[in-house]
Amino acid sequence: MIRDTTLSSFVHSGSPARIVFGRGSVQTVSAEVERLGCSRAVVLSTPHQHDEATRLLGTLGALGVGVVALAEMHTPTAVTARALIEVENFGADCIVAIGGGSTTGLGKAIAARTGLPQVVVPTTYAGSEVTPVLGETENGVKTTRRGPEILPETVVYDPDLTDSMPIELTVASGLNAMAHAVEGTYARDGSPIYTLTALEGLEALRDALPVLVREPDNQDARDRALYGAWLCGTVLGGVGMSVHHKLCHTLGGALDLPHAQTHAIMLPHTIGFIEESVPHALTDVAALFGGSAGAGLHDFAVDIGAPLRLADLGVTIEQLDLIADQATASPYWSPRPLDRDSIRSVLRDAHGGTRPNPRSESSS
C-alpha cells in the first residue's frame, strides 16, 4: 500500500487504551467497569440520547448510579461545570459515555478535572474516544489540549449501536474520521506505524461508506466502517493536528457549527491546500482516491452525498474573515506556511463547494 518507501528519522509512541470490538460487546460494559475497580458508574449522553443512556444504565445493575444527559457539541465549559455537579452528587467513581464526539468530549472534560476513569461506547465514527485530546469551547473560542489524564481507559466498539445511524450522519461522521487519518500521513511527529494505520483506516472507510449509502443495513459494511473509525482515531491520538483541524475547530467554536458536517465539508479543501505545496506528503492518500488527494476526496464526497458547502450550514461570506483572522492568529503546525489570504481562499472555496484543482491542473 505504501508507495514511498523512503524512511527518515522518527520517534513513535502509542497511547495505551483497551479496545473491545464486536457485535454485542455493549453487554461487556459492566465487566469493564469492574475491571477498572469501580462500583459507581454514571452514564453520560446528550439529551437526544437519554433513552440509550438509560438502557445502558439498566445493563450495569448495581454498578450504575445515574444518567447525566447534558453533553453538547464542542464541549462548552459551562456545560462541563453543570455536569460536574451532577457527577459529584451521584458519588460516581467512573464515567461511562455513550454517543458521539460530544459525549466523549464531556467525559474527557470531567476526567481531566476529577481523575475518574472512563469507559466510552461510541455510536458514531468520531474517533476521539481513542485520543488524549480534549477540545473545549468558551466565549466562542475552541481550544485543545493533550494529556494522559484525558485518554479514556477503555473503549467498547459495538457495531450494533451504529446500525441505526442515519445515513446523512454516517457519511459526515465517516469523513470526519477520515480527516484524522489524512492529517496523520503528513504530521510532523508521524511514524511509519501511524502512516500504515492511517491508510488502512482510510481504505476501510473508502470501501464501506459507498456500500452503506446503497445499503444502510449492510452489517459487514457497518463493521468495517467502525473498524476504520477506530484506526483513524488512533492516528489522531498519536500525532499532532494541522490546518484541517485548526479550521474546523475555529469554525465550530466561533459559529457553533455541527462537528462532523464541518469536517466533511472542509476535508477536500484543506488537503488540497497542503497538496498544492507538498504533494509528496499525500502521495499515498492520492493513490487511494484517484490520483489527487484534494480533488479525489471531493469526488468521493460527491459520490456518497456528503455535505459540500459551508453556506449550507448557514455560514455567511462575511463570517469567513473572522474565521481566517482567528485561525491564523494561533495556527497549528503545517507543512505549508499559513497566511491569512491563502486561508481565506480555502474558506471561500469551502463556502461555495468548489472542487479543488488536481495537482496536474494547479501546476500547469
Collapsing DSSP to helix, strand or coil, 51 comes out as helix
pLDDT level of residue 4 (50, 70, 90 thresholds): low
Write down the pLDDT at residue 362. 45
**Rounded distance, CA 141 to CA 122, Å?**
26
Pairing of strands 154-157, 141-146: unpaired
Detail the DSSP E strand segments found in the chain. Answer: 18-21, 41-44, 64-68, 94-99, 118-122, 133-138, 141-146, 154-157
Cα three-residue angle 145-298-286, rounded to 5 degrees: 80
Q: How does DSSP classify residue 194? A: H
Write down the pLDDT at residue 358. 79
- What confidence tens digit (pLDDT) does each residue in 269-291 have? 999 999 998 898 899 999 999 98
Helix (H) or strand (E) holding 114: helix 101-114
Among 58-62, 157-161, 237-241, which stretch is predicted with the lowest mean pLDDT? 237-241
The alpha carbons of the chain give a radius of gyration, in whole angstroms, of: 20
DSSP 208-267: HHHHHHH-TT-HHHHHHHHHHHHHHHHHHHHS---HHHHHHHHHHHHH---HHHHHHHHH
